[in-house]
Amino acid sequence: MDNFIGQFSHSIDEKGRMAVPAKFKPSLKQGVVVTRGFDNCLIVYTMPEWQKEAEKVSALPMSKKNNRAIARLKLAGAMEVKLDSQGRILLPDYLRKYAYLEKKVVVTGLYNHIEIWDEKIWNKYKSNAEKESNKIAEQLENI
């Protein structure tokens, strides 16, 4: 399993391409799946991690409304993407719109997947999380 960690600032060009952080490129050469994430970010999975995620979501009972919503969000919104010769991925227009991605983005490594955030949304999210860090830490004790 690949371990993605860190935070990187990148840009999206006029064609919707984003350079992948150099540190992540070796793990992504076989292609990736990009899909909608929570909090209006995009999630990037390696093919093996995507397979695990898709199987988990597919195993949920579709008789439950929230499970159908998760399946539609993650599975129907997914797109398989290959890195180009310059190590960039093309982010489909519908995914860029979902995550409000314009030019400046933040790429974060979260161990088994990567998130892509609009820079302004990320900064607001991160600021709120930092303010709430004590409450979050207390909740972790229950895990």
pLDDT value, residue 1: 52
Q: What is the pLDDT of residues 79-98, one digit of tens each?
A: 999 999 999 999 999 999 99
Global pTM? Answer: 0.90
- What does DSSP say about strands 17-19 and 114-118: parallel, antiparallel, or unpaired? unpaired
Q: Which two tokens stand for residue 87?
A: 């190590």
pLDDT for residue 48: 94
> What domains are there in the chain, each with its CATH number?
4-140 (3.40.1550.20)
CB neighbours of residue 127 within 10 Å: 10
Mean pLDDT of the chain: 92
Tokens 């990736």 sit at which residue? 32
pLDDT at 133 over 80: no
10 touches 19 (CB < 8 A): yes
